[in-house]
Structure 1
Amino acid sequence: MASEYASKIPSLIPLEKAGPKGYIRFVFPIELSDSYDADEVFRILKQGLEGAKERIPTLACEGVPDTEAKQAGVLKLQKYDDYDTITKKDLKAPGAFPYTFADIKAKDFPVEAFPGDLLCHRFTWPTPGERLPVADCQANFIPGGLLLTCCFFHVFGDAKSYYTWLETWAEECRRVQGETGPRNEIPEVFFTDREKHMKPSGRHEGKPEHHPEVLVLPFTPEGSPPKMISREHVGQVFRLNAEQLATLKADAAPANASESSDHTYVSTNDALSALMWRSVMAAQFPLEELEGDPTSVFNIAVDGRPRTDPPVHPRTLGNWLGWVAPQMSIRKMLSRESVADPALVVRQAVSKLSDQYVDSLSTLFESVVDVNRVVATAFIDVPGNNCVQTSWINLGVYGLDWGNTLGGKILAVRSPDVGVINGGSLVLPALPGGGIELIIGVESKCLPRLLKDPLLAKYATAVTL
């Protein structure tokens, strides 16, 4: 039986109130038969999504100003009935889209094949006055397949929540196609564990100096910085096989760093973070052109769920976004052909997190006058000296079955051509056959240098058209 909480529109936890008011944009390529019926595919997607909205009320909502909130800038969820959560675009006609599905599949789905302005219903950052639906999807039909784009508003969800949303949508699509039997009900704890962290405990001061990973600005910004909304940014997919991944992790070990440390290991994610950080800095700041000794701030998104007291279920719904912010001299980082130094700096930052993190950060967020004044520290100069990393490693969509009419499985997880956010890179879900993929984001003019980076090429292979 479905949880009674599944019918309720949730109130926001402090991490959501101050969450980033931007959209995470996914591209999911799905192969269809040459003679597919686009109208029937769209009917299944739309009806399945309506079923998912019944089971997860957040999906049926939009963000609107919470006029009763004590802080300025806070949103709340409100149901709507006058907006199409999914729309369709027919790009099958000759010249409507430059590639067939077979073309992009043969090239392993490079993001340059996915123009965001054409395929997505919206940009990453909303314009003032624009409506803020939690989900804004578009079914793009091309010869041989479907490019399903999903824009999810980050305030109300993160990668783990997106997985539950997509898992439920896929199940409802199968049922539209005739699957019977009991539904795979969403466990009640996914909804109810949010109640443990609606307010800070009072155990922590939550002062800005306790959280260098975020900034509380002394003013309310009028909008996103121009560099963050520029289209002069690209994402580039890189693939690491199991052998390359093992080599990277071994090379990133603290024993290979230039300075001694108490840390004896780095995680695979630390090593991947270090590779992305160094690669972005090398592409944007050739050592021979670097002026002075600037410091780079690297905001890495972390899942707050394991950093809670009392603990919450690992798949509790909502947005539990936290950050760490390792910092390093760009000159020092680039002076060695090694990932060991940045990997150690990342490990040192991550290791400081404890189960008190969410409570302390919530205390800080609840204390600000206007939640729009809270930004990740790196955001003040991206793309630039700083950069940002997120992870979709837990977005297990490769295992989801969408039913035969919808081609069964998603074949890749991608962002649009401009990347995830300007100045941002990410870890993609582990590949079904082993190995892992990354999307590294740089300014367009820096892409040639990124593709020629010898250290990056040692560990990863670029996926290009």
Structure 2
Amino acid sequence: MKIVPAMNCEAVPAPEFDQIRVTKTQQIPENDMDLAITKVLRQETPGISSGGPKDLPIGSSISMVSARRPASLSLVQLNFIDDGLILVWNVHHYFGYSTTWYSWAQIWAEKCRKASGFEIVHPFPTPSRRVTPGSMPPALLLETHRAQFFYFYPVALAVVDEEASPKNVVQKPIDSLFDKDPNSHFGSAVDGRSRMNPPTHPEPQGCWPTYAHADIRIPKLLSGSLADIAIELRRSIAKIHDDWTGEMGTLVDGLVDANRMIAKGFVDMPGKNFTQASAKKSVLLGGHCILQHRVLAPLDGSTQSLAPGCQNQKRLRGLYSNQQQSVRDI
């Protein structure tokens, strides 16, 4: 906890900020701290020497009931089997990404080896002091963001929901679609750390992913190959420059509601998906209520859930001045 204090923190609202739905970290009181849940599954799960577990019991996963409660940044469950350990680790995504979790795991593994008496040949480098950047990235100081608000009235929203329902959204034949040459939107997560100007530390803590966006015509998807799709994705990633992360930060700082930034690929998705999920009966959770399974994504907004009875929705589509595209208002 001294090296990675975030593991002893939870995410709570930050009312001191002007933006809506901005969160901050808060240290968990020592008497409420639960570092890890321990379960013994030796009778239920075969050991590694016996071929390892084929189907894990439901008890091996962490139960997360977090609606209307602060969310811990780190939840750990240790499942002991006959001759091994199954480690389940849930981490709050907005605080970090793969590089962050890998750093935490390296520190944890080293401490475990040290406690077991193993020699640490190559210790994990931990800074002896905190480092504060000398200046803001240039792009963070730019005002190049443009935005448009779209308001959906209840009647219009009902029409949109009907058009986007699985029974009315088809890809074959194309002639049955309203738009004979529709687009398919794809968002690919990329490492924002390596797209900073000036460059940052190679192993920073925090959440650094951002998205590259690709538009592909559905007829091309149906007639092309996987290589054609890969080429379009590579082109979209190649367009991301060194100021990309800074521009994303400028965009987020300009939002009134930080929870209203959403990847374009999630705005209009056919079929059964999370944006169509019902708070009372979700097809994604086996028909169970999702009020106790609230999913939060404060920055990218890729998984949003609406409170029951919420019929009027405001949508914000953000575009940089050099990336404006025409949109069709409903």
Same fold at TM > 0.5: yes
- Residue 86 of structure 1 pairs with residue 32 of structure 2: no
- Rounded to whole Å, the distance in 2 between the matches of 1:175 and 1:299 is 42
What is aligned with 1:308? 196
- Rounded to whole Å, the distance in 2 between the matches of 1:89 and 1:381 is 42
- Change in CA separation of 1:122 and 1:323 when aligned onto 2, cut-off 3 Å: farther
Contact 1:139/1:147 (<8 A) preserved: yes
Aligned residue among 217, 226, 229 for 1:339: 226
- Residue 119 of structure 1 pairs with residue 67 of structure 2: no
- Change in CA separation of 1:101 and 1:180 when aligned onto 2, cut-off 3 Å: closer
What is aligned with 2:216? 328
Unaligned runs of 5+ in 1: 1-52, 210-215, 220-283, 388-417, 423-465
What is aligned with 2:124? 184
Deviations 1:93-144 (A, max 9, x none): 2xx34x5545665xxx88xx356x5323245xx6421331111011112333
- Residue 136 of structure 1 pairs with residue 75 of structure 2: yes
The CA deviation at 1:326 is: 1.1
- Residue 154 of structure 1 pairs with residue 93 of structure 2: yes
Give SS of 2:186's match.
Answer: strand
Structure 1 segments (4+ residues) deviating >3 Å: 99-105, 179-185, 193-201, 216-219, 284-291, 380-387
Amino acid at match of 1:129: R
Alignment of 1:56-455 (within 5 A): 56-80=4-28, 81=30, 82-93=32-43, 96-97=44-45, 100-102=47-49, 105=52, 113-114=55-56, 118-123=59-64, 127-179=66-118, 184-187=124-127, 192=131, 201-208=140-147, 287=172, 291-292=176-177, 294-336=182-224, 338-381=225-268, 384=271
- Rounded to whole Å, the distance in 1 between the matches of 2:111 and 2:215 is 45
Contact 2:137/2:197 (<8 A) preserved: no
Deviations 1:424-447 (A, max 9, x none): xxxxxxxxxxxxxxxxxxxxxxxx
Contact 1:287/1:335 (<8 A) preserved: no
The CA deviation at 1:184 is: 3.2
- Rounded to whole Å, the distance in 2 between the matches of 1:311 and 1:386 is 37
Give SS of 2:200's match.
Answer: coil
Structure with bigger helix share is 1
- Change in CA separation of 1:122 and 1:371 when aligned onto 2, cut-off 3 Å: farther
* TM-score, normalised via structure 1 length: 0.48
What is aligned with 1:26? none
- Rounded to whole Å, the distance in 1 between the matches of 2:138 and 2:27 is 24
Deviations 1:384-427 (A, max 9, x none): 4999xxxxxxxxxxxxxxxxxxxxxxxxxxxxxx9xxx9xxxxx
Give SS of 1:89's match.
Answer: strand
Deviations 1:170-229 (A, max 9, x none): 11111211246795332469x5366755996322413348xxxxxx8869xxxxxxxxxx
Contact 1:120/1:137 (<8 A) preserved: no
Identity %: 29
- Rounded to whole Å, the distance in 2 between the matches of 1:193 and 1:54 is 19
- Rounded to whole Å, the distance in 1 between the matches of 2:176 and 2:49 is 46
Query: Larger Cα Rg: Structure 1 or Structure 2?
Result: 2
Contact 2:140/2:249 (<8 A) preserved: no
Amino acid at match of 2:218: I
Deviations 1:439-463 (A, max 9, x none): xxxxxxxxxxxxxxxxxxxxxxxxx
Amino acid at match of 1:118: G
- Change in CA separation of 1:143 and 1:74 when aligned onto 2, cut-off 3 Å: same
Could you say which structure has the greater relative contact order, defined with CA pairs below 8 angstroms and 6 or more residues apart? 1
Amino acid at match of 2:39: K
- Change in CA separation of 1:361 and 1:373 when aligned onto 2, cut-off 3 Å: same
Instruction: Give me the CA root mean square deviation.
Output: 3.7
- Rounded to whole Å, the distance in 2 between the matches of 1:177 and 1:204 is 54
